[in-house]
C-alpha cells in the first residue's frame, strides 16, 4: 500500500469517455507507488494553476553525456521543501526502440518488470523523438534501470545538442510500397554516429528519419535534418488486368476524378479500353495513384533514395522543410551503405564546424546558402535541388563559363 492519494477532481474528469485514460493508469500505479501518488498531486496542481512545475538538471549514466531527461519539482511548500516529495525527482530515460518499433511480448513484459522495480511504472510508446520513454525515475535509480535495459540489448537515445534517435517506417517489413531497406539505413546511420549521440557536442540536434516512399510516414521532410525517402527511377509497374478490374469496380468517373486528374504532373491517362497510360518521364513518384490503385500499380525495380537536408520545427527562424541534396542514390550494396554513411559524416562534420550554437542544419544552410553547403560537403549542384531558378538578378556570375564547363563535363561522364 502506498501513501494516501491526493484528491484529484480535475484529473478524475479524464477517466470517463471511450478513449483509454492515462489517468486511470496513473491511479492504478498509485495504489502501491508513492511516486505516482505525488506525481498525481503535482499534475492536479498544474490543472488548477495552469502552470508547469518541472525543471531540468544534470542526471546521467556512467559513460554517457545525454539520453536522460532530468526533472526536478519546483513546487515547494512554505519551507522550500517539495510539496510532493515522492515525485520530486521524476526523470525520463529515452531508450531507442528496434527500428520500425517491432516488439515481442516477452520484451515488453521485461520492460514492465524493470520499470516496476526501478521506476514509476509509466512507459510511453513512443515520444515524438521516436524513443521509448521510461518516465518517472529517481536520480538514484537511473543507473540501475539503464543497466538492466542495456543488458537486454537496448541503448539510450539522444538528447540535447547531439545526433538524436532516428526513426524509420514499417517499410519493407509490411508495406508493398517500400523502396528501401529502411531499418538497415536507420541502423547504419544512427549506429555510425553513436559517439555524437551519447556525448552531445554538436551545435544543436541532428535527426535522421527514413521513409520507404514519398508518402513519408515518418514526417521526415518536415522534421529530419537528414531525410531519406524511397523512390525509383525506372518505370512504375502497371498490372493492366488489375487496372481494368479497378475501373469495373469503381467506375470510370471515380478513376478519372480520383486518379487521372489528381496526378500532379498530368502523367496519367485512361485509355479507351480501360487500361492506364503512364508518362514515366513526367511522373514525380508522388505515390498518389499507387495509394489509390494499390493492387494495380507498384514502384519500379530500380529503387533507391532521395535525400533531403534541413527540415525542422519552429525554433528559431521558423519552420523549414528539408530540401533535396541527392536526387537519387542506390542503397543496395555494402558500398552503397558506406557511401550514405560517408555522406552523413560529411554533413555532420560540416554542421559541427559551421553552425552557430543552437542552430539547426536547415538554419545554417539558410544563413550560408545552399551553394556553400554543397561545396562544403562535396556535392555537385543539380536542377532537382530547386523548385525554380533564382528570380532575382542581383547575383555575381563571373564564374559562369567554368561552371557551365563543369556541367557539361559531368553530363559527359554520366
Q: What is the number of other CB atoms lying within 10 angstroms of the CB of residue 308?
A: 25
**Which cell goes with 253?**
468517373
Which residue in the block uniquely carries the three cell numbers 554533413?
Answer: 347
DSSP at 64: -
167-168 and 208-211: which strand pairing? parallel
Please give the Cα distance from 204 to 247 (Å, whole number): 51
CB 171, min distance to another protein, A: 9
CB 240, min distance to another protein, A: 15
CB 177, min distance to another protein, A: 8
Torsion, Cα of 304, 205, 127, 29 (10° steps):
150
DSSP at 2: -
CB-wise, 155 or 225, nearer to another protein? 155
Which residue in the block uniquely carries the three cell numbers 484529484?
Answer: 8
CB-wise, 220 or 377, nearer to another protein? 220
CB-wise, 295 or 406, nearer to another protein? 295
Indicate if the alpha-carbon torsion angle 367, 369, 375, 380 is positive or negative.
positive
Please give the Cα distance from 166 to 211 (Å, whole number): 11
CB 173, min distance to another protein, A: 5
Burial class (CB in 10 A: 0-12, 13-18, 19+), 95: buried
208-211 and 132-137: which strand pairing? unpaired
CB-wise, 39 or 307, nearer to another protein? 39
CB 406, min distance to another protein, A: 29
CB-wise, 50 or 80, nearer to another protein? 50
CB 395, min distance to another protein, A: 18
CB-wise, 69 or 347, nearer to another protein? 69
Amino acid at each position: 500500500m502506498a501513501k494516501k492519494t491526493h484528491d484529484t477532481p480535475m484529473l478524475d474528469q479524464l477517466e470517463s469517455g471511450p478513449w483509454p485514460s492515462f489517468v486511470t493508469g496513473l491511479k492504478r500505479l498509485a495504489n502501491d507507488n508513492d511516486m505516482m501518488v505525488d506525481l498525481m498531486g503535482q499534475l492536479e496542481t498544474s490543472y488548477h494553476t495552469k502552470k508547469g512545475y518541472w525543471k531540468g538538471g544534470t542526471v546521467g549514466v556512467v559513460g554517457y553525456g545525454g539520453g536522460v531527461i532530468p526533472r526536478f519539482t519546483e513546487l515547494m511548500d512554505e519551507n522550500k521543501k517539495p510539496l510532493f516529495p515522492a515525485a520530486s525527482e521524476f526523470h525520463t530515460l529515452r531508450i531507442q526502440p528496434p527500428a520500425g518499433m517491432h516488439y515481442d511480448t516477452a520484451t515488453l513484459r521485461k520492460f514492465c518488470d524493470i520499470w516496476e522495480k526501478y521506476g514509476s511504472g509509466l512507459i510511453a510508446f513512443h515520444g515524438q523523438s521516436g524513443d521509448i520513454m521510461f518516465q518517472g525515475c529517481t536520480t538514484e535509480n537511473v543507473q540501475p534501470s539503464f543497466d538492466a535495459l542495456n543488458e537486454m540489448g537496448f541503448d539510450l537515445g539522444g538528447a540535447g545538442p547531439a545526433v538524436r534517435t532516428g526513426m524509420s517506417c514499417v517499410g519493407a517489413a509490411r508495406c508493398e510500397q517500400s523502396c528501401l531497406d529502411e531499418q538497415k539505413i536507420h541502423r547504419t546511420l544512427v549506429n555510425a554516429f553513436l559517439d555524437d549521440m551519447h556525448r552531445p557536442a554538436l551545435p544543436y540536434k541532428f535527426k535522421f528519419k527514413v521513409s520507404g516512399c514519398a508518402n513519408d510516414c515518418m514526417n521526415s521532410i518536415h522534421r529530419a535534418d537528414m531525410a531519406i525517402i524511397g523512390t525509383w527511377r525506372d518505370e512504375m509497374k502497371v498490372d493492366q488486368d488489375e487496372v481494368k478490374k479497378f475501373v469495373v469496380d469503381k467506375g470510370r468517373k471515380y478513376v478519372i476524378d480520383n486518379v487521372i486528374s489528381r496526378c500532379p504532373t498530368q502523367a496519367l491517362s485512361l485509355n479507351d479500353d480501360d487500361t492506364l497510360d503512364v508518362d514515366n518521364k513526367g511522373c514525380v513518384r508522388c505515390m498518389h495513384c499507387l495509394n489509390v490503385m494499390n493492387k494495380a500499380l507498384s514502384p519500379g525495380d530500380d529503387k533507391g533514395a532521395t535525400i533531403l537536408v534541413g527540415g525542422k520545427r519552429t525554433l528559431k527562424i521558423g519552420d523549414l522543410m528539408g530540401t533535396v541534396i541527392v536526387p537519387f542514390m542506390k542503397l543496395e550494396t555494402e558500398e552503397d551503405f558506406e557511401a550514405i554513411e560517408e555522406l552523413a559524416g560529411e554533413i555532420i562534420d560540416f554542421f559541427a564546424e559551421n553552425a552557430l550554437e543552437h542552430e539547426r542544419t536547415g538554419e545554417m544552410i539558410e544563413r550560408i546558402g545552399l551553394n556553400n553547403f554543397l561545396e562544403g560537403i562535396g556535392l555537385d549542384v543539380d536542377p532537382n535541388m530547386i523548385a525554380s531558378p533564382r528570380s532575382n538578378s542581383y547575383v555575381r556570375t563571373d564564374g559562369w563559363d567554368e561552371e557551365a564547363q563543369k556541367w557539361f563535363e559531368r553530363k559527359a561522364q554520366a
